[in-house]
Each structure stands twice: as C-alpha cells, then as structure tokens.
C-alpha cells in the first residue's frame, strides 16, 4: 500500500528527515553542511582524474595502481570513508569494465565524489548486470561486439574504479594537461575519454 509519505520525491523526504533529526538534536546542520561541501568541492572526480593522469604518464605508478589500488591512491593523500578498499581495473581496446552496485550504491567517494543519481537508480543497477552492452549504448557508449564487457559489482568490502583507455592523440600532453579530459563517467565505465579537438 502506498502512503502519502512514500509518494513524496526522495529529495523532499530526505530534507524532512534532516529537519526532524536536527530539531531533536541528533544532527548538527553545520557538520552536515561541511560534510556535503567537502565531498562536492574537495573530494570528487578531480581526485580520480589526477590518479588516472598519473597512471597514463608513469608506468611504475600504473603498475602499483592496478596491483594495489587503495595504497597507490593514498600516495595522493586520497582516503577516507568509502575508500577503504578500492580496486582499479584497466579498460583496453578489447576489454571494457563498467561499475555498478547492484545492492545499493557503494561508490569510491575519495576519488569520484558523490555518486550521480543514475548510478543509484534501480533501473541502471538491474539492467547493467543483465544487459550491459545495451545500457551502455543507451548512455552514449556503443561498443563493438568483439569487445568483452566485464561488470564490476561494488560492495561495502570492495569499491571498483576504472582506469580508462588513454585516447590516441594525447601522447604529447603532460599529466596536468590530461587531468581536465578525464571524466567521472569514464572512471565508472559508462563513457570513454576523448582527446581534445586540437589533437584529433
């Protein structure tokens, strides 16, 4: 049976819950605001982009990243809640990894920030496991039939991050110049990194 409260949008229900907890003294709104700001501005996809750019330009770092993701990521000082055990997998011309959390929305916050709404959507969580090639195409990433797709299911024990394939035409770019090209979606595996127009 659907009650009036369950018909409210999730954002409104969340706001109402936060207000109730604040009124009862269980939540400090200042602390909450600081937490949200930290993950929106200081912790986010830019961190992950720095990790990827380093791996693309430093073979020794790339080897460490793929062997022990959490430790290699900590070399940048990126750690904290939701980042206790991050495993990094590499996308290539013939192998494509895509990340999901089929049970909830586990996500490597220290390197990717807050998860996007589509990542938490039940449709994405269910369909990408059953029909990854179809849903990737719907999200703007058609892959050839000979490309193997591996779905990585994150959990509270393991959070996955994708090391995207470096695009052709970026060999002359420095680590710092590569960072702006790398998107959150590419590090989840629902997009590829594109070379800048000048390099095409």
Please give the Cα distance from 191 to 150 (Å, whole number). 14
Choose among 99, 102, 104: nearest CA to 86: 99
Indicate which residue of 79, 102, 105, 194 is catalytic. Answer: 105
194 is in an annotated binding site: no
155 is in an annotated binding site: no
Please give the Cα distance from 122 to 162 (Å, whole number). 21
Tell me, yes or no, if 101 is annotated catalytic. Answer: yes
Tell me, yes or no, if 156 is annotated catalytic. Answer: no
Tell me, yes or no, if 154 is annotated catalytic. Answer: no
Please check whether residue 107 is in contact with residue 154, taking contact to mean a CB–CB distance below 8 angstroms: yes
**Strand, coil or helix: what is 90?**
strand
Indicate which residue of 5, 79, 102, 106 is catalytic. Answer: 106
Tell me, yes or no, if 155 is annotated catalytic. Answer: no
Choose among 89, 80, 11: nearest CA to 42: 80
- Print burial letters for 100-123: b (CB count within 10 Å at least 16), e (below 16): bbbeebbbbbbbbbbbbeebeeee
Indicate which residue of 104, 117, 155, 156 is catalytic. Answer: 104
State the DSSP H helix or E strand holding residue 59, giving kind and residue range, or none if neither: helix 59-67
Please give the Cα distance from 63 to 65 (Å, whole number). 5
106 is in an annotated binding site: yes
Indicate which residue of 79, 101, 117, 154 is catalytic. Answer: 101
Q: Which residues are catalytic?
A: 101, 104-106
Return binding residues.
101, 104-106
Return binding residues for Fe(3+).
101, 104-106
């Amino acid at each position: 049976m659907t009650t009036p409260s369950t018909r409210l949008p999730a954002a409104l229900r969340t706001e109402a819950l936060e207000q109730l907890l604040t009124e009862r003294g269980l939540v400090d709104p200042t602390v909450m605001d600081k937490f949200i700001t930290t993950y929106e501005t200081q912790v986010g996809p830019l961190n992950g982009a720095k990790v990827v750019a380093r791996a693309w330009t430093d073979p020794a770092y790339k080897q460490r990243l793929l062997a022990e993701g959490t430790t290699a990521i900590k070399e940048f000082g990126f750690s904290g809640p939701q980042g206790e055990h991050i495993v990094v997998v590499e996308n290539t011309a013939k192998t494509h990894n895509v990340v999901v959390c089929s049970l909830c929305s586990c996500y490597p916050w220290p390197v990717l920030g807050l998860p996007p709404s589509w990542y938490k959507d039940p449709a994405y969580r269910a369909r990408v496991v059953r029909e990854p090639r179809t849903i990737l195409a719907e999200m703007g990433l058609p892959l050839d039939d000979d490309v193997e797709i591996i779905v990585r299911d994150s959990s509270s024990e393991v959070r996955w991050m994708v090391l995207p394939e470096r695009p052709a035409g970026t060999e002359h770019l420095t680590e710092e110049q590569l960072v702006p090209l790398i998107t959150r979606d590419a590090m989840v595996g629902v997009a590829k990194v594109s070379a800048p127009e000048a390099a095409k």
